[in-house]
Amino acid sequence: MTFTTRFAPSPTGPLHLGHAYSALFAYNMAQTRNGRFLLRVEDIDRSRARAEWETQIYDDLAWLGLKWETPVMRQSDRFDVYQDVLDQLWARGLLYPCTCSRADIAAAASAPQEGVPLLGPDGVIYPGTCREKHKMTERAQRPDNAALRLNMSKALRLTGHSNASTAPVMFKEACLPTESGTAQMSGPEILRTIGDIVLARRDIGMSYHLSVVLDDAAQGVTDVIRGADLFDATVIHVLLQELLNLPTPVYHHHPLIRDDKGKRLAKRDDARALSLYRAQGASPADIRALIGL
């Protein structure tokens, strides 16, 4: 199988040194392995994505010397595919509508009998309020004015991970140090530390977790190369792949580029924007030297 990787930025701000690191890391590996390097524009959140940021992404990456296959996949072109999969998951009884606000969730999760709210990759672990309501009503029609959550307990049961004596969810981690190159989490731990995640947000009708899984499969990605900040979310992605019968790629979570104070760079760190370095006369070789690639 041809080694295939991708760089998947969201056009919601300027690319900075951290993005340059991720893109070059993936690009270099694709070159070394005689593989394919793809680009994907992660613009499901139409309220934050901007055409000018997308143009700037192409501009910055070309300036860095990267070449990618065209046409570029854009998530905003794929809403029909996403809706089909949500319909299938709904029909399998794996989703339920959730109308809780953030404040409702925080209040329910910190109610005295629940103890201190646990934080997962998506924030406070959902206490299950709407799951219980849905059990009582069992609506056949999928509503379009509510978020849709995954019934995690059912998902774990269907994939054979429901208790401590069954196999954990596993994936190959080729970059971060793990025991024998494999990362894993048991079903009960997933239930406790991740819980019923949102698969379709009320505002955009979709979620990062589901789109990234569908897009990686559609692009034939064999190796996902991305920042270590996404390591904790990866068991979610692997579980979704199992539910949807999609292949699990090898994951390479690379270390993050940090500022002088050790803080990881964020989109709002415009001071590290590649365009600013360019405007100040830096060359692509200067950027490579700065990030050590």
Q: How far is the CB of 32 from ligand GLU (least distance, A)?
A: 20
The torsion angles phi and psi of 24, rounded to 5 degrees, stand at -70, -35
Task: Tell me the C-alpha distance between 42 and 36, whole Å.
Answer: 19
CB of 217 to ligand GLU, least distance (A): 13
Q: Minimum distance between the CB of residue 74 and ligand GLU, rounded to whole angstroms?
A: 12
- 188 or 205: CB nearest ligand GLU: 205
Q: Which is nearer to ligand GLU, 13 or 128 (CB)?
A: 13
Tell me the per-residue interface mask from 116 to 155 with ligand GLU, x by CB under 6 A, - otherwise: ----------------------------------------
CB of 134 vs ligand GLU, minimal distance in Å: 29
**Given candidates 26, 197, 200, 212, which one binds ligand GLU under the rule CB under 6 A?**
212
Is residue 221 within 8 Å of residue 6, measured between CB atoms? yes
Q: Which is nearer to ligand GLU, 146 or 233 (CB)?
A: 233
Nearer to ligand GLU, 130 or 274 (CB): 274
Residue from 134, 161, 209, 226 binding ligand GLU (CB under 6 A): 226
What's the length of the chain? Answer: 293
Confirm or reject binding of residue 252 to ligand GLU (CB under 6 A). Answer: no
Exposed, middle or buried: residue 156 (CB in 10 Å: 0-12, 13-18, 19+)? buried
What's the closest the beta carbon of residue 203 comes to ligand GLU, in angstroms?
17
Are 64 and 25 in contact, with CB atoms under 8 Å apart? no
Q: Is 60 in the site for ligand GLU (CB under 6 A)?
A: no
Q: Least distance in Å: CB of 8 to ligand GLU?
A: 4
Size of the site for ligand GLU (CB under 6 A): 7
Helices 284-291 and 51-64: angle between axes, nearest 10 degrees: 90
Residues 6+ apart with CB under 8 A from 153: 162, 191
- The binding track of 5-44 with respect to ligand GLU, each residue x by CB under 6 A or -, is ---xxx-------------------------------x--
Q: Which residues bind ligand GLU (CB under 6 A)?
A: 8-10, 42, 212, 226, 230
